[in-house]
């Protein structure tokens, strides 16, 4: 994915689902969700063990999140991404973002085949700083 496509995703996102949102403030997903919400974006979390984190509603699965999201931001082990991406495809969500260290080529191909853009192995915060604040 090139910088122009990533920039389009970043500037077009209004509603983001953070999959793997942790209640632990030391975890990256927690900090990213806080940062996204602080930018005025609507953030929803996905974590089966939580109902609210940072005042953000949290759902057990992506399938449980009401309505579509612009970006599905995934903080999960690479080998667990497939079902999340399949759910995003079925829901018609806007883009898949696999955070740094999250790589799943098969899941990326599934999303791409459905016309959903995929960013893989990149930090949404670092890309925002690099492309929009630079």
Helix axes 124-132, 28-38, angle to 10 degrees: 40
99: DSSP letter: P
Q: Is residue 20's pLDDT more than 70?
A: yes
CA distance 100 to 103: 8
Q: What is the pLDDT of residues 75-126, one digit of tens each?
A: 999 999 999 999 999 999 999 999 999 999 999 999 999 999 999 999 999 9
Q: What is the bridge-based pairing of β-strands 52-53 and 118-119?
A: unpaired
The three-point CA angle 128-125-79 to 5° equals: 120
Give the pLDDT of residue 50. Answer: 95
Q: Is residue 134's pLDDT more than 60?
A: no
Find the distance separating the first CA and the last CA of the chain, reported in whole Å.
19
Of how many residues is the chain composed?
134
Question: Which domains are seen in the chain, by residue range?
Answer: 3-132 (3.40.50.720)
């Amino acid at each position: 994915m090139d910088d122009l496509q990533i920039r389009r995703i970043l500037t077009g996102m209004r509603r983001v689902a953070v999959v793997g949102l942790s209640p632990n403030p030391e975890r990256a997903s927690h900090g990213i969700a806080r940062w996204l919400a602080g930018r005025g974006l609507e953030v929803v979390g996905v974590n089966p063990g939580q109902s609210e984190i940072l005042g953000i509603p949290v759902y057990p699965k992506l399938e449980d999140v009401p309505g579509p999201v612009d970006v599905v931001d995934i903080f999960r082990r690479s080998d667990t991404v497939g079902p999340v991406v399949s759910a995003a495809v079925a829901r018609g969500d806007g883009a898949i973002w696999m955070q740094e260290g999250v790589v799943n080529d098969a899941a990326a191909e599934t999303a791409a085949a459905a016309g959903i853009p995929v960013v893989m192995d990149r930090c949404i915060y670092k890309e925002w700083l690099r492309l929009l604040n630079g």
